[in-house]
Structures are given as C-alpha cells and as structure tokens.
C-alpha cells in the first residue's frame, strides 16, 4: 500500500490544516472545500485506505470524535441547525482521498446538501433475501 496522501502529510505536520481536535488516534480539521461552512473531517492517524484496512477500535473513535464535534459545532459560531455524518468508502461511493475520513457537515435550512432521491420500498421477500445474505457474510468474518 502506498501510504502517501495529503491527509498523511497533514498527520505528519508537513501539510497545513486548520485543526480543531487531535489526540493519540485521530485528528480533526476543516475541510478545504466545505460542503457547508464549518464542514469538518475526522481522520485516523494511522493511514488506512479504506474501511476494510481500518482498526475497528479506531473506527469507533472516529464516530466518538465526530459526535463530540457535532455538539461543538452547535455551540460554536458556525450556523448549525443539524449535522450530517458522511463517509465515502471506495471510488464508487465518491471517495477521493484514500485515507479513511469521516465528514461532519453542519446543516442549515436551504443549504443544498443532501442525498438525492427517496426510492420506494422493495417487497419484504427481497429485503429478507438480502438480509440473509448479509447475515451469512457476517457469520464468515
Ligand atoms: P471524499 O470525497 O474522499 O470523501 O472527501 C475528500 C475531502 O477531502 C473533500 O471534501 C475535500 O474537500 C477534502 N480535501 C481534499 N484535499 C484536502 C486538503 O488538502 N486539505 C483539507 N483540509 N481537505 C482536503
């Protein structure tokens, strides 16, 4: 694996970042191209290209820190009436930087950010079929 990404450079202190939080496992900083003002990224210090490579304990820490930052955003001068978490795992999911990162995105009315479309529900047997397949995969882990 090639560990070089701009986020690894930020962790190493060789690239600039507007940090809001740092501990032994994670760093959080302002996204350089924010979806909304105050958009933050939380990243592990140990590089992992994708979720499959990330220590699940550190993955849990990303969420914990994201949760703390969501509270801080609401208490800060950032306009924040709600918060979305977003994580792109893989090219098809929209991942551009191959160092796992959790987006923490403050929301205000009419900000334009959001998931597109709200499909109708498939028949229950279709849901049950895929649920069984996923349970099977979990059992093989
Ligand atoms: P992805 O599409 O991989 O989920 O998101 C990558 C994010 O990283 C984007 O929102 C992009 O704006 C942000 N980003 C890319 N390069 C830099 C950088 O050098 N510094 C910071 N702070 N954010 C970056």
Give all domains of the chain, ordered by start, each with its CATH number: 6-115 (3.30.428.10)
Distance 100 CA to ligand 1 centre (A): 11
Q: What share of the chain is helix, strand, coil (3-state, %, to 5)?
A: 35, 20, 50
Q: Which atom of ligand 1 is nearest to the CA of 39?
A: 10
Query: What is the model's pLDDT at position 63?
Result: 98
Report, as ranges of residue numbers, the positions in the chain whose pLDDT lies below 70.
1-3
Ligand 1 in reach of 17 Cβ (< 6 A): yes
Instruction: Give the span between the Cα atoms of 76 and 19, in whole angstroms.
Output: 15
Query: What is the model's pLDDT at position 3?
Result: 61
pTM of the complete model: 0.94
Distance 30 CA to ligand 1 centre (A): 9
* Under 8 Å between Cβ of 87 and 52: no
Query: What is the model's pLDDT at position 73?
Result: 96
Closest alpha carbon to 103 in 75, 80, 57, 69: 69
Query: What is the model's pLDDT at position 117?
Result: 76
Query: What is the model's pLDDT at position 88?
Result: 98
Distance 21 CA to ligand 1 centre (A): 17
Ligand 1 in reach of 88 Cβ (< 6 A): yes
Query: What is the model's pLDDT at position 115?
Result: 81
């Amino acid at each position: 694996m090639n560990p070089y990404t701009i986020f690894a450079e930020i962790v190493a202190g060789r690239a600039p970042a507007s940090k809001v939080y740092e501990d032994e496992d994670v760093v959080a900083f302002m996204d350089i191209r924010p979806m909304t003002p105050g958009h933050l990224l939380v990243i592990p210090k140990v590089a992992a290209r994708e979720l499959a490579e990330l220590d699940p304990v550190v993955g849990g820490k990303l969420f914990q820190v994201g949760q703390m930052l969501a509270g801080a955003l609401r208490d800060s001068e950032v306009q924040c009436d709600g918060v979305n978490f977003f994580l792109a795992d893989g090219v098809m999911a929209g991942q551009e930087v191959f160092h796992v990162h959790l987006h923490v995105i403050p929301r205000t009315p009419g900000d334009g950010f959001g998931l597109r479309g709200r499909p109708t529900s498939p028949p229950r047997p279709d849901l049950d079929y895929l649920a069984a397949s996923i349970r099977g995969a979990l059992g093989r882990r």
